[in-house]
Structure 1
Amino acid sequence: MKQPDDCYFYYYSNCSKGAECKFRHEEAARGSEVTCRLWKEGKCFHQGCTFRHMIIQKDRSQIPCYWQSQPSGCQKQHCPFLH
């Protein structure tokens, strides 16, 4: 079965739907900024694919993390922004 698109909220914030969410929640892909080539072709069937199943518009690794500059710092384990 083709793997679904990534859940935006799971990857960049917090998805409140959990297991009820129809989008993909893949822990192994959380830190990746590489879009899956097979997914773009509609051919990714790998259950634990470590690449992103969404189009990434910006290179977040070059954008400073807003939360890192706050008193408590960034608390995200897989924050894609520059620290």
Structure 2
Amino acid sequence: MSELSEKQRDSLDEDQFAFPKERKEPLSNASHVRNAIARFNQVRDVSDDERDAAWGRIKRAAKKHGVEVNEDSWRDLRAKK
């Protein structure tokens, strides 16, 4: 995965994160999108509504960066455990 420096991460707009309020899981390239999906269930202290919104941002970023997403909902990620 391509690492973001602190300066690069700080320069990202809120809409470039799956969880913008927490500034967690950047979505700036395909590698970050795949990582956001893999780490989705590790994000703590967010509501289901925030997860729904984050999943929508991830799906849009995945389409933009050509990342295939097999799950229809973030809830499907839980089922894979």
TM (normalized to structure 2)?
Answer: 0.27
Structure number having the greater strand percentage: 2
Structure number having the greater helix percentage: 2
